[in-house]
Homo-oligomer: A and B are copies of this chain.
Amino acid sequence: MTRGEDGAREGEGRLIGRSVPRREDPRLLTGRGRFVDDIALPGMLHAQFVRSTVAHGEITAIDLGAVRTVPGVVAAFTAEDLKAGDIVARLDRPPQEFVPTAMPVLARDRVRYVGEPVAIVVARDAYAAEDGVEAARVRYAVRPPVTSEAAALADDAPLIHAEAARNTLVDVELFATDGIDEVFATADRVVRVEARTGRQNALPLETRGAVAHWDDREEQLVLHTCTQVPHQVRTVASRCLQLAERAVRVVVPDMGGGFGLKCVVGREEIAAAAAALRLRRPVKWIEDRKDALSASFLAREQHYAVRAAFDANGRILALDADVVCDMGAYSCYPFTAGIEPLMAAAEMPGVYTVPAYRVRGRAVATNKAPSAPYRGVSRPQYVMVMERLFERAARELDLDPVEIRRRNLITSFPYTGVNGITYDPGSYRESLDLCERTLRAEGWYEKQRTARAEGRHLGIGYACFSERTGYGSAAFAQRKMAVVPGFDLSEARMDPSGAVTVTTGTMSHGQSHETTLAQIVADELGLDIDKVRLHQGDTDRIAYGWGTFASRSAAIGGSAVRLAAGRLGDKLRALAAARWDVPIDRTALGRGEVFRRDDPDTAIGYVELAELAYLRADLLPKDIEPGLTATASFDVFNDGTFSNATHGTVVELAPDTGRVEILRYVCVEDCGVAINPQVVEGQCRGGIAQGIAGALFERVTYDAQGEPSATSFMDYKVPTAHEIPDVAIHHLETPCAFTETGAKGAGEGGTIGAPAAVLNAVNDALCPTGVELDDTPITPETVHRALHRRHYQESTR
């Protein structure tokens, strides 16, 4: 909020901070959205994939002869037929720290998970394509599958990537504060948590999909695809298909969610493009739910072995963590298999003042579908572990669990942590206080006492966390990514009728950019928001953009948008200043006009200036170029910014079913300036629902042969409105000092806090039983066993 204050006319209402109704909604709610599956092109064919039925093995034969005789089938291609290059994601780390795993677009000699695409069948409709898939005959020489991180790490583990000497793709030891072992040896108390978190699917409502065709006139592959990262898909497609980047145009229409699963490049979208190139006909591929659940990208299967040293007052002295992430079979572009362990290792100390830290982070390959970032990336897990550590320490030291947090929260900013990260100001303490105060005021502590007296299991749990957002180039470079997804670009263009189109390199897939980024532009220019339109999702329209992930769009994309709008505003002011023959700083913007600061009633409307800039270039001063466009980039060259929140929840356990009922959920969040509070609340609620899903419901499991057990919603419990409580949301606002909007980002926070809060609340409810749970999801069976421990012990005796 540094700039533009001067650009607003006195008394003019600003839009930033207001819950402007979502401008996407009229379209989406009246069925006028356009999703990838809505795209129909003349002569379009439909693709489905022959997928591996074994988790690990050599392909000894692929026979597509019968496929090609299926009525309606037009073509079927193996990797050898398609000749597409591999998708390669790299870290610039030494070989002992990182093993790259090229992911072929279609499996060649080897398959590494059930569902891995082996061949693509293209037919006149999706039914014929499915029939074609059925007719494929692929023979495998089955190898023993690796189905857990423990198995992957075993000395005699089968190697998943023959060219690598081990299954550990990433292995880093970081920080290792001098003398940390002595701290542990001499501490008053050492508490430990060992936790496993379940493998999850980000599960966007809209599955993945693509429509590819070769535009013969433009000499461009046009790839309509459902991605969070259009330009990154372009880069990968151009490399795999040996086309110049300009010869690939990625267009993204409306999207029904992504949650990170669509911020990596999918092999199927590249395969569909390769098939369209070969056939010179449009090819559509729409992922079905079975493939989405089992063969797309997964996340979150992690194992933590952590200990923390505390003094007698509950102050944390040291943290020692070993994190192993089961990343599935391949590194995904661009984040690699390092995404989860590196995130956990770098950021685990979180909101707490941890004086000494050591962490080992490992990514291991297993014979499962590969992992992608999923909302929060490791933070739901390590926050859960940290919050468990404090709860356990509190219990062991007989401290109030809120009080022990207060004693350890960072309260003085900027704070440079033991992990080398500098945390910008946040409301860590204030959010905890307000969250606790709210639950107390609502009488939940009394209700808990009453319940316990009645033998009911009611628990209260908290989670304090911050979330690094606004990762710029510097932050990703710290992770040693070989491509550094940092900056964003924006172009603001006023047309001759005075309407503004702003183009962004970010890609809303539910984040409401058409509303929020337009609010920024409208404020910056002092223009009615109805005259502002956002354009996104077309790689031809802006030189590059890293897309939308890591809660970056408001902080980075929004800043680029604001800078571009500001430069456009400067040009409007220059035009008016020239007309008045006054210095530009004597002018300001507001209400669709440039006005004179010294005489606000003297004004020239944007429409008049726009006509001048385009249609009467003869009247322009010679030093002003015609037209009204401006571009800007924005990047972050520090450690980024930190949103923070405290979640508090109250649960009751049902003794007969083991069901965890969430009675109350309070979120106190601080994402800096909330450009649109309603949008922030939507992000919180959705994120919390996904966090609860991870805490209580969702888990992808595999059998001993590496066969995924969850291939439909019959087997994979997705919570509905029935399971998700109403959430009370309180906003605090600590503006970010270095983003152009003061916004920090709010995309992931909800998901991060919920598992810890729910797990803590369940443990609090279980307190009388003496059982503590550390793994998620917490299934009804687990709760039932905890509540009826004696019964189970007797029955197994």
Stretch from A99-107, A401-409, A480-488 that touches the partner? A480-488
Alpha-carbon separation in the docked complex, A741 to B533 (Å): 37
Contact B616 A637 (CB under 8 A): no
Q: Which of B473, B499, B628 contacts A247 (CB 8 A)?
A: B499
Minimum C-beta distance from A68 to chain B (A)? 28
Q: Which of B217, B493, B531 contacts A254 (CB 8 A)?
A: B217
Instruction: Say yes or no for A618: interface residue by CB 8 A criterion.
Output: yes
Contact A245 B496 (CB under 8 A): yes
Alpha-carbon separation in the docked complex, A242 to B499 (Å): 13
Contact B635 A626 (CB under 8 A): yes
Alpha-carbon separation in the docked complex, A254 to B500 (Å): 29
Would you list which residues of chain A between 236 and 279 have a CB under 8 Å from chain B? 238, 244-247, 253-254
Contact B616 A484 (CB under 8 A): yes
A618: chain B residues at CB < 8 Å are: 473-474, 476-477, 484, 486
Instruction: Say yes or no for A40: interface residue by CB 8 A criterion.
Output: yes
Alpha-carbon separation in the docked complex, A544 to B496 (Å): 9
Chain A 152-178 interface 0/1 with B at a Cβ cutoff of 8 Å (1 = within): 000000000000000000000000000
A617: chain B residues at CB < 8 Å are: 473, 484, 486-487, 635
Alpha-carbon separation in the docked complex, A272 to B125 (Å): 34
Alpha-carbon separation in the docked complex, A496 to B484 (Å): 13
A633: chain B residues at CB < 8 Å are: 625-627
If A217-B253, A477-B618 touch, whether A541 touches B541 (CB-CB below 8 Å) is yes
Instruction: Say yes or no for A66: interface residue by CB 8 A criterion.
Output: no
Interface size on A, residues (CB 8 A): 59
Instruction: Say yes or no for A400: interface residue by CB 8 A criterion.
Output: no
Contact A32 B217 (CB under 8 A): yes
Instruction: Say yes or no for A336: interface residue by CB 8 A criterion.
Output: no
Chain A 598-633 interface 0/1 with B at a Cβ cutoff of 8 Å (1 = within): 000000000000000011111110100111110111
A627: chain B residues at CB < 8 Å are: 487, 489, 543-544, 633
Minimum C-beta distance from A665 to chain B (A)? 35
Contact B531 A244 (CB under 8 A): yes
Alpha-carbon separation in the docked complex, A40 to B43 (Å): 12
- Which chain B residue shows the least CB distance to A632? B625
Contact B244 A484 (CB under 8 A): no
Instruction: Say yes or no for A235: interface residue by CB 8 A criterion.
Output: yes
Alpha-carbon separation in the docked complex, A531 to B535 (Å): 27
- Which chain B residue shows the least CB distance to A495? B245
A455: chain B residues at CB < 8 Å are: none
- Which chain B residue shows the least CB distance to A483? B615
Alpha-carbon separation in the docked complex, A616 to B92 (Å): 12
- Which chain B residue shows the least CB distance to A501? B246
A631: chain B residues at CB < 8 Å are: 629, 631
A246: chain B residues at CB < 8 Å are: 493, 495, 497, 499-501, 533
Instruction: Say yes or no for A27: interface residue by CB 8 A criterion.
Output: yes
- Which chain B residue shows the least CB distance to A610? B245
Instruction: Say yes or no for A219: interface residue by CB 8 A criterion.
Output: yes
Alpha-carbon separation in the docked complex, A543 to B630 (Å): 10
Alpha-carbon separation in the docked complex, A626 to B485 (Å): 11
Instruction: Say yes or no for A33: interface residue by CB 8 A criterion.
Output: yes
A474: chain B residues at CB < 8 Å are: 618
Minimum C-beta distance from A21 to chain B (A)? 16
Would you list which residues of chain A between 102 and 151 have a CB under 8 Å from chain B? none
A622: chain B residues at CB < 8 Å are: 637
If A615-B484, A618-B477 touch, whether A217 touches B628 (CB-CB below 8 Å) is no
A543: chain B residues at CB < 8 Å are: 493, 495, 614, 627-629
Instruction: Say yes or no for A216: interface residue by CB 8 A criterion.
Output: yes
- Which chain B residue shows the least CB distance to A486? B617
Instruction: Say yes or no for A540: interface residue by CB 8 A criterion.
Output: yes
Alpha-carbon separation in the docked complex, A498 to B245 (Å): 8
Contact A34 B544 (CB under 8 A): no
Contact B544 A541 (CB under 8 A): no
Chain A 499-518 interface 0/1 with B at a Cβ cutoff of 8 Å (1 = within): 11100000000000000000
Interface contacts beyond A246-B497, A246-B500, A544-B614: sample of 9 additional A-B pairs, CB < 8 Å, sorted by A:
A34-B217, A244-B497, A473-B616, A489-B626, A535-B540, A540-B541, A625-B632, A625-B633, A626-B633
Ranked 9 nearest A-B pairs via Cβ: A477-B618, A244-B499, A245-B495, A473-B618, A473-B617, A245-B497, A483-B615, A625-B633, A34-B217
Provide a sorted-by-A list of 17 A–B residue pairs whose CB atoms are within 8 angstroms: A27-B216, A40-B42, A238-B497, A245-B499, A247-B499, A473-B617, A473-B626, A476-B618, A483-B615, A489-B626, A496-B544, A543-B629, A617-B635, A622-B637, A626-B633, A629-B631, A631-B631
